[in-house]
Structure 1
Amino acid sequence: MDDITLGVIGLGIRSDLVELAHRPGEGSTVAAVCDLDPRLLASARERFGPQVRTAQDHRELLDAGLDGVFVLTPDHTHERIGLDFLAAGVPVFLDKPLAITTGGCDRLLAAAHKHRTPLYVGHNMRHMPVVVAIRRLIEQGAIGQVKAVWCRHFVGHGGDFYFKDWHADRRNTTGLLLQKGAHDIDVIHWLAGGSTRRVNALGGLTVYGDITSHRDRSGERMTEWLSTENWPPLSLTGLNPVVDVEDLSMMQMQLDNGVLASYQQCHYTPDYWRNYTVIGTEGRLENFGDSEGAEVRVWNRRSDYRAEPDVTVRVHTPAGTHGGADPVLVAEFLRFVREGGSTVTSPVAAREAVAAGYAATTSLRDGGRPVDIAPVDPELAAYFAGGQR
């Protein structure tokens, strides 16, 4: 089997993902990379071999004969870069979120359809073992018909992860309810079997807005300042020069199939994990932990408070980042490039996650008023549902 040749746009932290795809002689090889930082470009040959082509402008690689490209750049650049490669006929892996506006997502979907270029979105949580276990229980009827989904996301490292670099500036993300929340909103939709059509939200910059220590970290990577010793939250220093995204957000969703859902996100909790609760007509399930040692517990009998569930599913986490999800994600994209067909991730679902997060951010910045969300164009939805043939 000949190697497919891959490009990488963006050599930051998330580019570790592509090292899973660089297997010269085993099916795929990284042939070209692009980044604005010359220091990261200088390290590319050590990572991917002396043959790798380097560029500081992604447009230099549009005609490089690539079989696929990973776009792993800051969120606000996804749309422009994705549109260029889709128009050039190069299959695209776009890391989540698909874009930072609903309109941006729709333009990307339309471009993939127009040019018949495969588009894949990196919603790796659809491959996370704890999420897979929850979905399997739902499909098996463990709690009957789903009626409600709640998610609480405790972003314990939020100050380091999202308030010391470009994430803190809404021009780059719209807001963290979209940027960080796109993962969980997609999972909520997947577990509920529907998409949000109406949303309202409240939130604010409740802690990190009080910190006056700022620093330009251009050229630095998050691993250089991340520390579990950065605690309590108000002791943090060196925040991004612009901090205008919310650190506490709560949204409520009405889905097109009647399911009601809620999502809460806090960036200054002492712990870092997410908790899903799914309520159905015949029971309730909930995850405790979301990595190695996690459990999904199911309650099916009437009672007063009862800590002991009726069913406990222990979740094994295989090797690999994001609970073993990233190796599966990359393998799915490579198979998609070679063969096409359906995938567990979905560009339309990725759009719906952004649309919900975008509408929720609009709502919370306008006093919590309800915001309606238009569905994807039916022709586009049918095209992607058909496997992008």
Structure 2
Amino acid sequence: MAELRIGVVGIGQRAPLAVPANRPGTARVVSCADPDPYALATARELFGPEAALHRDHRDMLADSLDAVFVLTPDFVHTEPVRFFLAAGVAVFVEKPLAITVADCDAVLAEAARTGTRLYVGHNLRHLPVLRRMRALIEQGAIGTVRSVWCRHFVGHGGDFYFKDWHAERARTTGLLLQKGAHDLDAMHWLASGYSRTVVALGGLTVYGDNPHRREGAATAAGRRMPDWFDADAWPPAALRDLNPVIDVEDLSMMLSRLDNGVFTSYQQCHYTPDYWRNYTVIGDEGRLENFGDGLSGEEATVKVWNKRRSGYRPDADLTVTFPADPPEPGNAEHPGSGADTEEGVAAEDGDGGHGGADAALVAEFLRFAAQGGPTETSPVAAREAVAAGVAATASLRAGGVPVPVEPPDPEIVRYFAAHQAR
């Protein structure tokens, strides 16, 4: 097949995600768009001198694109996604799909109406640790899943989410959606169900009291997160140059009941000293849990307790290890520990960002854009994650009242099941 001609809309923090799409003989980034001159200069660095540069994404159609990455800030996803779907250009849109359920539904409806391929970048579905946890669940290692818990320690939350547009409700709805959509989708995936009733509590407990706000515009024009990230700033009160507007919560706790009877619990804190995700899945015949998630290249393990009752046993009944430095593809051997041990799993398609998940994500999108077929990620599931985050945010801001999560249009669900369900 001829090389796919790829476009990139939004040259911000996630733009490097599209770099692996430059695969000679398979795909090539030929066009980029961003209204910010600083961003266009960055596009030159990332994608080379031959890529066409535009201030308006609508001008990119002149470059005869086959597929496009929409990597804009979340609150401006919807218009370019719908524009390219209507033009018949396959779309990769970064998660979360949108910041409102109405916008998610409009995007899904456009994809169904036009028949254009839509892919949402929920990279955690390609994270080796989570993939192995799901495989163990499917193999019956813990019986029938009854509950999924996730604790997200967002150790760099101050730098990542409180120094630019992420800090504003008008641009995110809230971090239970913007940041939480990643984990909500992962929990839905592990539980094989979707949230239908949620309750939540939380608040702006630390960063709201920090007086060291940036003066001037409410967005950091001409700058990207690496320009202001300071890993040595501790405690959180030591952070400087925060966004002028901060009205999202930095601590959130959410409970949900899924449509298949599974119960979930999600906690998110943006000022812990450590940064990782801990998932615990409890079945009626065992429990599994990860220690470390491999997202930053560190060693991680998944432990399963399923053979007998006891006090805490750090050795567990099964331990799966993931090496800190993934082995070369085709050589995934790495010794584990515990009563029974499986070999560690290297990231698919090499290591890359997010523990190899980003590279696998891009590879799947390129295959999907060229050939169609089933995908690990799901536009319907992406919409369900946003809907759960929206409902949880409403519950939190109403003092913890239960809020129902409305399911998507059954016709839309059937469309994607017929065209994209794995």
Same-fold status (TM-score > 0.5) = yes
Letter matched to residue 270 of structure 1? P
Q: Secondary structure at the match of 1:144?
A: coil
Letter matched to residue 270 of structure 2? H
Alignment of 1:104-123 (within 5 A): 104-123=103-122
Q: Name the CA distance, whole Å, in 2 between partners of 1:43 and 1:359.
A: 37
Alignment of 1:308-387 (within 5 A): 308-316=315-323, 317=326, 318=347, 319-387=351-419
Q: Deviation digits for residues 77-124 of structure 1, max 9, x if unmatched? A: 011111111111111100000000111111100010011111000000
Letter matched to residue 183 of structure 1? H
Letter matched to residue 263 of structure 1? Y
Q: Deviation digits for residues 347-375 of structure 1, max 9, x if unmatched? A: 00000000000100011011111111111
CA 1:297 to 1:43, structure 2 compared with 1: closer, same or farther past 3 Å?
closer
Matched residue, 1:22: 22
Letter matched to residue 363 of structure 2? A
- Say whether the 8 Å CA contact 2:16–2:46 is kept in structure 1: no
- Say whether the 8 Å CA contact 1:342–1:386 is kept in structure 2: no
Q: Name the CA distance, whole Å, in 2 between partners of 1:294 and 1:42.
A: 37
- Say whether the 8 Å CA contact 2:153–2:268 is kept in structure 1: yes
* Corresponding residue to 2:238 among 235, 238, 254: 235
- Say whether the 8 Å CA contact 1:211–1:234 is kept in structure 2: yes
Q: Name the CA distance, whole Å, in 2 between partners of 1:370 and 1:57.
A: 42
Letter matched to residue 97 of structure 1? P
Q: Name the CA distance, whole Å, in 1 between partners of 2:228 and 2:287.
A: 40
Letter matched to residue 105 of structure 2? D
Q: Name the CA distance, whole Å, in 2 between partners of 1:171 and 1:66.
A: 32
Structure 1 position 237, deviation (Å): 1.1
Matched residue, 1:155: 154
Q: Name the CA distance, whole Å, in 1 between partners of 2:264 and 2:167.
A: 26
Matched residue, 1:219: 222
Q: Which moved more, 1:301-310 or 1:364-373?
A: 301-310
Q: Name the CA distance, whole Å, in 1 between partners of 2:42 and 2:130.
A: 35
Structure 1 position 388, deviation (Å): 5.0
Q: Name the CA distance, whole Å, in 2 between partners of 1:75 and 1:334.
A: 22
Q: Name the CA distance, whole Å, in 1 between partners of 2:223 and 2:9.
A: 18
Is the counterpart of residue 70 in structure 1 residue 73 in structure 2?
no
Q: Name the CA distance, whole Å, in 1 between partners of 2:69 and 2:191.
A: 29
Q: Secondary structure at the match of 1:151?
A: strand
- Say whether the 8 Å CA contact 1:62–1:84 is kept in structure 2: no
- Say whether the 8 Å CA contact 1:63–1:88 is kept in structure 2: no
Matched residue, 2:338: none
Structure 1 position 306, deviation (Å): 2.6
Q: Name the CA distance, whole Å, in 2 between partners of 1:91 and 1:250.
A: 36
Q: Secondary structure at the match of 1:343?
A: coil
- Runs of 5+ consecutive residues of structure 1 not aligned to the other structure: none
Q: Secondary structure at the match of 1:381?
A: helix
Q: Name the CA distance, whole Å, in 2 between partners of 1:63 and 1:120.
A: 23
Letter matched to residue 299 of structure 1? W
- Say whether the 8 Å CA contact 1:164–1:240 is kept in structure 2: yes
* Corresponding residue to 2:249 among 246, 251, 255: 246
Q: Name the CA distance, whole Å, in 2 between partners of 1:360 and 1:44.
A: 37
Is the counterpart of residue 181 in structure 1 residue 187 in structure 2?
no
Matched residue, 1:13: 13
- Say whether the 8 Å CA contact 1:75–1:172 is kept in structure 2: yes
- Runs of 5+ consecutive residues of structure 2 not aligned to the other structure: 327-346
Q: Name the CA distance, whole Å, in 1 between partners of 2:111 and 2:372.
A: 13
Structure 1 position 8, deviation (Å): 0.2
Q: Name the CA distance, whole Å, in 2 between partners of 1:143 and 1:280.
A: 5
Letter matched to residue 22 of structure 2? H
- Say whether the 8 Å CA contact 1:155–1:265 is kept in structure 2: yes
Letter matched to residue 235 of structure 2? P
CA 1:343 to 1:313, structure 2 compared with 1: closer, same or farther past 3 Å?
same
Is the counterpart of residue 297 in structure 1 residue 317 in structure 2?
no
Identity %: 62
Q: Name the CA distance, whole Å, in 1 between partners of 2:38 and 2:243.
A: 21
- Say whether the 8 Å CA contact 1:168–1:245 is kept in structure 2: yes
- Say whether the 8 Å CA contact 2:302–2:320 is kept in structure 1: yes
Structure 1 position 212, deviation (Å): 1.0
Structure 1 position 45, deviation (Å): 3.4
Structure 1 position 46, deviation (Å): 4.0
Q: Deviation digits for residues 148-206 of structure 1, max 9, x if unmatched? A: 00000000000000000110011111000000011100000000000000101001000
CA 1:144 to 1:61, structure 2 compared with 1: closer, same or farther past 3 Å?
same
- Say whether the 8 Å CA contact 2:154–2:268 is kept in structure 1: yes
**Residues matched between the structures, number:** 388
Q: Secondary structure at the match of 1:328?
A: helix
Q: Deviation digits for residues 227-247 of structure 1, max 9, x if unmatched? A: 211110011111001100000
Q: Name the CA distance, whole Å, in 2 between partners of 1:178 and 1:361.
A: 7
Matched residue, 1:89: 88
Structure 1 position 63, deviation (Å): 4.5
Matched residue, 2:204: 205
